[in-house]
Chains A and B, each alone.
Chain A
């Protein structure tokens, strides 16, 4: 909602156009330079529109938070088995939304036509060109010609960012929530909680208030960040020209994993004779994300096949209840995270002087070893926890005591153990 609100405000001032103008605005270091109208209007709304910079920065912070929140949510769903039937369809919708959100963010920060936008688009174009057989056509199609493309490209990007993708995400959110409400939310095992019922606070009024409270709290943090913590100071990057570049450039965080994959991929193309068939950026820019998302999409079916459990589930697993799933998830997220960190190898080199070549080999090794390690470790820990039924991190061993009719005291079952003792299956 904040993204939509601040976004609408920004569109009132932004002008998506690459026609060149000479800058006469209020930022002195750029005066006299030829820049695009898009970049000029972004500068003007930052410097000359009251509260414009605040709104732009809140918009950017909100975008970063949006993707992060989806990712954390995905992890919760994955590790607790909430993706199982009857919620598998909703899980696929959620994954689709994550992809759209990443795309939406990329389109957003590419619009401004500052140096970083342009470098991001150059890489995006190279990835598009790298698709086997149709790449050249796809790249030329989207950009309206060879990179950096025509005027039409910026308006396409703009429409994608402010209309097509938001509508897609918005309608998916609506479906997503409706599909949470219809079979009701999942719950952990506990006193009085069964596969067939749902225990919790009713939506109105307490839960609604709490949700609104959370919304306001998030908004508060975002406005504090937008007001106090500078983000993407486009006036420092300068305008983009295809022949300009800067060292140590980094995209928004949710693209880090793709940059990492582009970096780590050894340099090879698939060639026939002296002709390229599959250029290198295809591996990191297309195959890698498809692999990750493909696996996440396929996981519910894989798990059904592995465990033979095709029943509907309304009760959540604790991560330890299903060591194999938890271990697979941990390995997958470790793998992506390692490659994500590899994306910042150039920063580590520019900022701290860590030798780049060494880093690259270390990350390549880590991207194979760490996931295996994570798998083994997680599986061990889960199995141990499940066997011992211990609750490290849950502080108190207190027992509930009640007074009965005769006036003497008796101890109740410890809270939370009912129904927890044995998981359904191994």
Chain B
């Protein structure tokens, strides 16, 4: 009895659907019959997947509106929507649309006859080349290349107005004899605040802290450790040394100071650049001891006046990465 009712229900349902479809399609041409792989299950599945994708998309919108847009949930919702869509499309391509494998002629690009002719001509040309010296084609090609070079240079020239002339720009530095050292908050650097092994970033007073040549590393070692070159004998009062903070290899900030307690295990007080581990010997005036850097770290001679640190001259070399024309330095 119930089974019969269910069957009746199904039947009515189908008639209803058919009726609705007919009503919707009234006045239109009937669909041409298509050969499709008979897989109603796949069709239903795809439909369900698409609906699921729609729901997940709606969930994204809802989450965005009401749940303070939680990043994780939003991501999951979007992923679910797109993932369901992906499955639906792939299933559809495999089970719903016609499955066929066709064979199609490739278009030919070169006429074999012409190709052979060209080959013959080429050989003849080469033969003549030996006699005439230069072919028309090569002459024209070379001339064309020259023209392209000239025109290209003309077109590229206005690019130069992008930037200022180099001049001495890459060598500029705010450090002069008597320039005071200040810390990050623009307070004067006091010699008494730095103990042995200390490390401090300092700047030239009154300069822009973003200026590449302004920032310094100030460290203190025991004066008897120093092995500075003779001409730099008075550059490190009380064992205080100052170097440019910008690595001479690739201009990263030298933010590591190695002051080993056990010299046997890790040699000398040294400044290390974190980018490619270029290492500079503090005691020998910034000489490079390891890594890809070539030039030594520029050193700034220091003096102490009324407890404050001042520059006693200019930096010993150019700050930042090398360029063609920079002095290599000792």
Contacts and interface: CB of A to CB of B under 8 A. Distances in A.
Interface of A: 50-51, 53-54, 57-58, 86, 119, 122-123, 125-127, 129-137, 139-148, 152, 156, 182-184, 192, 195-202, 205-207, 209-210, 212-217, 219-221, 223-228, 241-249, 259, 262-263, 265-269, 271, 274-281, 284, 312, 314, 346, 356-357
Contacts of B210: 148, 241-242
Contact of A280 (B203, B246, B294): B294
A244 B215 CA distance: 10
B45 to A, nearest CB: 14
Given A206-B93, A312-B110, A242 B75 contact: no
B237 interface: no
B262 to A, nearest CB: 16
Nearest to B76: A227
B327 A147 contact: no
Interface in B29-45: none
B162 A142 contact: yes
Output the residue of A192, A242, A262, A277 with the most chain B CB within 10 A. Answer: A242
B328 A275 contact: yes
A197 B103 contact: yes
B100 interface: yes
A122 B252 CA distance: 6
A279 B321 CA distance: 8
A228 B72 contact: yes
A245 B325 CA distance: 27
A202 B93 CA distance: 12
13 contacts: A125-B251, A133-B324, A140-B164, A146-B170, A147-B320, A183-B106, A205-B93, A213-B85, A228-B72, A242-B212, A242-B215, A243-B201, A278-B324
B290 A357 contact: yes
B249 A281 contact: yes
B113 to A, nearest CB: 15
B143 interface: no
Contacts, number: 296
A262 B215 contact: no
Contact of B101 (A57, A136, A201, A243): A201
A94 to B, nearest CB: 19
Contacts of B163: 137, 140-145
Given A135-B323, A216-B82, A140 B274 contact: no
Contacts of B304: none
B225 to A, nearest CB: 23
B172 A146 contact: yes
Contacts of A207: 93
Main secondary structure of the interface of B (DSSP, over half): loop
B179 interface: no
Contacts of B209: 241, 243
B98 A206 contact: yes
B254 A245 contact: yes
Interface string B231-269: 000000000000001100111111110000000000000
B294 A268 contact: yes
Given A132-B324, A245-B254, A197 B104 contact: yes
A259 B250 CA distance: 11
A318 B80 CA distance: 37
A227 B72 contact: yes
Contact of B82 (A127, A129, A220, A314): A220
A179 B223 CA distance: 71
B321 A126 contact: yes
Contacts of A223: 75, 78-79, 82
A198 B108 CA distance: 12
Contacts of B276: 259, 262-263, 346
B245 A243 contact: yes
B311 interface: no
Contacts of B255: 244-247
B250 A126 contact: yes
Given A141-B162, A182-B107, A209-B97, A227 B73 contact: yes
A279 B152 CA distance: 28
